Amino acid sequence: MRLSESVVYTTTAMSSIVLCCVLFLSGSAAVPPSPIDDQPMAAGPDPVDAETPEPDDTTTMATNPTTLGEALGVGDGTFDPAADGFHLFDPCAEITTEQWEKLGWKPLSGQQVRSDADRKFCTFIPATDRPEWVTGFAESDVLDQRQLDQQGLLITDVKVTAPDGFYLYKFSKDENEFFCSAAVATSRGRVSFTFGANPDIPTEKKRTCQVAADMLRDILELPPAAAQLKPAP
C-alpha cells in the first residue's frame, strides 16, 4: 500500500486514535467482546464472499510445513474444540515480535491481552509511519462461520481478493467503513485479523477489508515456529 509520508502522528495522538478504535469495537472494554456467546460448533467450509473458489475440504496439514498456514492446516476447514489434544492457536504468543514487525506491526504498550482456553486476543499499532493504519487486532477462537451468519455479522456485500477459505465479518451490525475483519478456519481453531483504518482519512469498506485479508494472508505465510511443527501437549 502506498501511503503519504506527509502525515506524522505524535505518540499521544496515535494512542488516542487507537483507544477510540478499541472503544468502538468493545463498547467500553479494552478487549472487544466475542461476536457470539453461544456454544461453539466445529467450523465448516461454507462459501465465502471473497473473489476466490470455495474451500477444498480435502486439504490436509502438510507433513513438512513451510508456512504457518500449512502448519495450522488452513484449508482443512474443520476443528473440534472438544477433541482430545485440541490446542487453540495463540497468535499473541506463537508469532514473535520480530515477525509482527516484519508485517508492519508492534504490540500496543500496556494492552490487555486475553488468553483464555477458547479465545486469544491482542492489539497492535503500526511499527512504522503509516498514516492510514491505526490499529490491528489478532485473534483466535472457536467460533463457527455459520454462527456469525446467523447473527448477521458476515460481510457479504464486499468483494476482496483473498485465499481459499477466507471470509469477512464485523463485530457489530453498525460497524463503519474504518474497520474490517478477515478470518479462516484452521485445525487449531479460527484465526482472524481485524484492521482499523485512520478515521481522519476517507476510505471505503472494500479497501479496509482488503487490508484485513492481505494481513491475514501474510500472517499465514510466515515461517512456522519450531513449536508449531510438533503436536501440542
Is pLDDT above 80 for 16? no
* C-alpha cell belonging to residue 27: 463498547
Instruction: Give mean pLDDT, residues 181-205.
Output: 96
- Cβ-defined contacts of 15-22 (< 8 Å, 24+): 17/134, 17/135, 17/198, 17/199, 18/108, 18/123, 18/125, 18/134, 18/135, 18/196, 20/199, 21/134, 21/135, 21/178, 21/179, 21/196, 22/123, 22/135
pLDDT of residue 233: 47
Q: What is the pLDDT of residues 110-152, one digit of tens each?
A: 886 889 999 999 999 999 999 999 999 999 999 989 999 999 9
Residue ranges covered by each domain of the chain: 11-229
pLDDT of residue 65: 87
pLDDT of residue 36: 41
pLDDT of residue 22: 45
Q: Mean pLDDT of all residues in the chain?
A: 78
pLDDT of residue 35: 55
Cα separation, 220 vs 116, in Å, equals 22
User: Is residue 219 a contact partner of residue 175, using CB atoms and an 8 Å limit?
Assistant: no
Cα-based angle 37, 28, 211 (whole degrees, multiple of 5): 75
Q: Is the pLDDT higher at 62 or at 118?
A: 118
**Out of 8-22, 70-84, 90-104, 147-161, least confident range:** 8-22
pLDDT of residue 13: 40
Is pLDDT above 70 for 78? yes
Confidence of residue 161 (pLDDT cuts 50, 70, 90): very high
pLDDT of residue 19: 44
User: Is residue 101 a contact partner of residue 220, using CB atoms and an 8 Å limit?
Assistant: no
Total-model pTM: 0.74
Confidence of residue 30 (pLDDT cuts 50, 70, 90): very low
